[in-house]
Structure 1
Amino acid sequence: MVPSEVMRRRVPTGATKRAARAYSSNMKRAIRWLLVGLSLLIVTTVAAAVWLWNDPASAFRLAMVAGQTNAGLTERTTEIDGRIWRFLDSEAPHPRNALVLHGLGTSAEAMMTIAPILRETHRVVIPDLPGFGEHAVHGTMAHDATFYIDAIESFRAAQNLGEVDLIGTSMGGAFAAAYAAKYPQHVRRMVLLSPAGVTPPHVNEFMRRVIDGEIPLDIHDDASFAEVLRLNFPSPPPMPEPIRVEFVARAVARRDAFLRIIEDLRPFLINGVEPLMQDIDAPALVLYGKLDQLTDPSMLAIWRFGLPKMEGEVLDGAGHVLLYDKPNEVAKRMREFLR
């Protein structure tokens, strides 16, 4: 190769220079639009955050929808005897159905984590029970144990669930046991998490307060909500302020109905399951947390004595809400028991 040819290859032509300038200009324009887009995204995100912070109801609703989506659940409604039931449904095409019952003062969302646990084996259905969540109280009728057990049966039949695996926590655990006693033909197995309904050998602080006439779970302001969290969790979960504000507001709005339900259920939740145990044939897994301040772990002994087909355990380091404190341990035991 001669020197002149080398120089021709190394020295850019006019066309090459123009192409380089055009490329540089396009890159600058692209970077500028990218920065504009990022700025708009940041502004939009900040605006959305400010809006949600000042609109707790929308923040609460979005948080619930996000939780449902993450758990693989769909929100559905159905009408039974003129009443609207709202429920969460995994809609999984499995031959086994899990009917899940939430605890006192909560809603279907409190049990959402059951769906991923049983994703491979069960269709999971979680209703808002009457008077809780988005399910209104049923008029002036007494909301006692008989009312709830028959309401649960009406829901099961309306959804054509057939034989179910029952899962309940706290109040829902007591309902599950009572349902299994009254409708044994519809229950294959049941999992009871921190269940109420039996006399505790050890009376803890919460129970003493109830005996003295207090209602420790009555939420009427932010301080009482903090107390409810303390009773339920050894280490209460972090909660964004808008969600906390809306939770308290919803509790206060429904307070009269809640207090009425507590009075209707008080005898049952104290020891109403014990006389029914002789009629329970379904195998049961009963779990408590060692740090439970509501349903004392000493209650496991009552279940062990009353249920012939029972497995039970007290989980170290867990409070009342086992699905929050010990999710992996609960998931493992639940899958093994319901397989």
Structure 2
Amino acid sequence: MSSTESPDTATAAALPVPPAGPGALDAADESVDWVALATPPRLTLAVRTPAARPDAPADAAGRDREPALYVHGLGGSSRNWSALMPLLADRLDGEAIDLPGFGESPPPEDGNYSVSAQARAVVRYLDAAERGPVHLIGNSMGGAAATRVAAMRPDLIRTLTLISPALPELRPQRTAVPTALLAVPGAARLFGRLTRDWTPEQRTREVLALCYGDPARITSEGFESAVEEYARRLELPYFWEVMERSARGVVGAYTLGGQQGLWRQAERVLVPTLLVYGGRDRLVSIRMARRAAAAFRGSRLLTLPEAGHVAMMEYPEAVARAVRELIDSTAAARIDVSSGAGGS
């Protein structure tokens, strides 16, 4: 386990807006396909991939690219991985999914937005795609779902990377409370009505202030992309319902005990794990980093003092380096085991 020191998390007033963020700066560099999962409950998932994939099947060191799956958080989408995926494209054959009801994926047939349902969606996709085992990378709510997947189906996972995972906090930060209030029945739609006069630009600024450690790092192109995506999603008839039910699903996961509790499931994860926390995260406290590092056995811990809730968007190079070190060390361990078995 490795880490760096970080300051106390900053606090600031935050409105209950969905914690999304800027999308791809150049959509032409990505492609989106839709995958239909027919077994009830039926799902259709949008899957985003970098369009310009390396021509060679192996990287400079002669290693074949390995499959990876990226899972976004509450209010986010597959676009949240557009900065990170290309940095790892020589090593990982990456795909990012839109969870049911988010991004470009339609709502699930059964209307279930619990963390367990999100985890089942990931498992169903991996089983259908037959790409496993994969390097699974999740942020926030997606990190909670990824934890469940790694605990339930270790056969599908090579490594696990969690960026500000939404794991239960007994004393959540004050700045995270308004987002949790989205789980109250009717709260999301009420907020929508109260802010109906807000422009997409105003909404986007509030979202980015909540998610980024330093919103000034966002480029003008990134901001414009985020505004355009936010405006599109506000037009969806199910937008606020998805936000409310998903927030309720996260809160519900926090209250589960026994073997279904997220911390208990974290202790069951046996695959190599990387944990990434931001020192300025207003939604998941940096205080949880040490507890997570103790729960995920043999895990690595990277803390980024200036990062907020979406480190893969704020500091993609630093996150990419840590992911690369994780997968390279795992590959080396596999080679050592294989060599030892062959020599006995």
TM-score scaled by structure 1? 0.72
Q: Using the alignment, how far apart are the partners of 1:65 and 1:141 within structure 2?
A: 28
- Unmatched segments (≥5 aa) in structure 2: 1-21, 58-63, 329-344
Query: Quick check: which one's helix share is greater?
Result: 1
- Equivalent in the alignment of 1:256: 241
1:212, distance to aligned residue in structure 2 (A): 6.7
The number of residue pairs the alignment matches comes to 274
Q: Using the alignment, how far apart are the partners of 1:204 and 1:125 within structure 2?
A: 32
3-state SS, counterpart of residue 282 of structure 1: coil
AA paired with 2:36? Answer: E
Q: Using the alignment, how far apart are the partners of 1:169 and 1:312 within structure 2?
A: 15
Residues 252, 178 of structure 1: alpha-carbon distance in 2 compared, 3 angstrom cutoff = same
AA paired with 2:72? Answer: H
Q: Using the alignment, how far apart are the partners of 1:230 and 1:174 within structure 2?
A: 23
Question: Are 1:102 and 1:171, in contact at CA under 8 Å, matched by a contact in 2?
Answer: yes
Q: Using the alignment, how far apart are the partners of 2:70 and 2:322 within structure 1?
A: 16
Q: Using the alignment, how far apart are the partners of 2:24 and 2:301 within structure 1?
A: 34
User: Any residues of structure 2 matched to 1:206-221 within 5 Å, and which?
Assistant: 206-209=175-178, 220=195, 221=198
Match of 2:43 among 80, 83, 100: 83
1:252, distance to aligned residue in structure 2 (A): 5.6
AA paired with 2:153? Answer: Y
1:276, distance to aligned residue in structure 2 (A): 1.0
CA RMSD of superposed structures (Å)? 2.8
AA paired with 2:315? Answer: K
AA paired with 2:270? Answer: D
Q: Using the alignment, how far apart are the partners of 1:152 and 1:177 within structure 2?
A: 11
Q: 1:88-132, CA deviations, whole angstroms, 9 ceiling, x for partnerless residues?
A: 124664451111101111111111223212111111011111010
1:337, distance to aligned residue in structure 2 (A): 1.0
Match of 1:228 among 199, 207, 210: 207
Question: Are 2:183 and 2:247, in contact at CA under 8 Å, matched by a contact in 1?
Answer: no
Is 1:182 the counterpart of 2:182? The answer is no
Q: Using the alignment, how far apart are the partners of 1:192 and 1:129 within structure 2?
A: 16
Question: Are 2:141 and 2:250, in contact at CA under 8 Å, matched by a contact in 1?
Answer: no
3-state SS, counterpart of residue 287 of structure 2: helix
Deviation larger for 218-227 or 275-284: 218-227
3-state SS, counterpart of residue 277 of structure 2: strand
AA paired with 1:83? Answer: L
Is 1:275 the counterpart of 2:264? The answer is yes
Question: Are 1:196 and 1:270, in contact at CA under 8 Å, matched by a contact in 2?
Answer: no
Residues 166, 243 of structure 1: alpha-carbon distance in 2 compared, 3 angstrom cutoff = closer
1:135, distance to aligned residue in structure 2 (A): 0.7
1:177, distance to aligned residue in structure 2 (A): 1.1
1:258, distance to aligned residue in structure 2 (A): 1.8
Residues 249, 89 of structure 1: alpha-carbon distance in 2 compared, 3 angstrom cutoff = closer
Residues 141, 312 of structure 1: alpha-carbon distance in 2 compared, 3 angstrom cutoff = same
3-state SS, counterpart of residue 26 of structure 2: helix
Q: Using the alignment, how far apart are the partners of 2:271 and 2:28 within structure 1?
A: 32
3-state SS, counterpart of residue 136 of structure 1: coil
Question: Are 1:204 and 1:296, in contact at CA under 8 Å, matched by a contact in 2?
Answer: yes
- Equivalent in the alignment of 2:61: none
1:327, distance to aligned residue in structure 2 (A): 2.1
Residues 65, 113 of structure 1: alpha-carbon distance in 2 compared, 3 angstrom cutoff = closer
Residues 310, 108 of structure 1: alpha-carbon distance in 2 compared, 3 angstrom cutoff = same
The structure showing larger relative contact order (alpha-carbon pairs under 8 Å, at least 6 residues apart) is 2
Q: Using the alignment, how far apart are the partners of 1:336 and 1:244 within structure 2?
A: 34
Equivalent pairs: percent with the same residue? Answer: 24
3-state SS, counterpart of residue 165 of structure 1: strand
AA paired with 2:213? Answer: P
3-state SS, counterpart of residue 139 of structure 1: coil
Question: Are 2:47 and 2:78, in contact at CA under 8 Å, matched by a contact in 1?
Answer: yes
Q: Using the alignment, how far apart are the partners of 2:224 and 2:180 within structure 1?
A: 33
Residues 132, 210 of structure 1: alpha-carbon distance in 2 compared, 3 angstrom cutoff = closer
Q: Using the alignment, how far apart are the partners of 1:157 and 1:251 within structure 2?
A: 32
AA paired with 2:241? Answer: D
AA paired with 1:85? Answer: L
Q: Using the alignment, how far apart are the partners of 2:182 and 2:223 within structure 1?
A: 33
1:203, distance to aligned residue in structure 2 (A): 3.3
- Equivalent in the alignment of 1:53: none
AA paired with 1:255? Answer: W
Q: 1:52-89, CA deviations, whole angstroms, 9 ceiling, x for partnerless residues?
A: xxxxxxxxxxx96763444xx32212211143221112
Q: Using the alignment, how far apart are the partners of 1:230 and 1:212 within structure 2?
A: 18
TM-score scaled by structure 2? 0.71
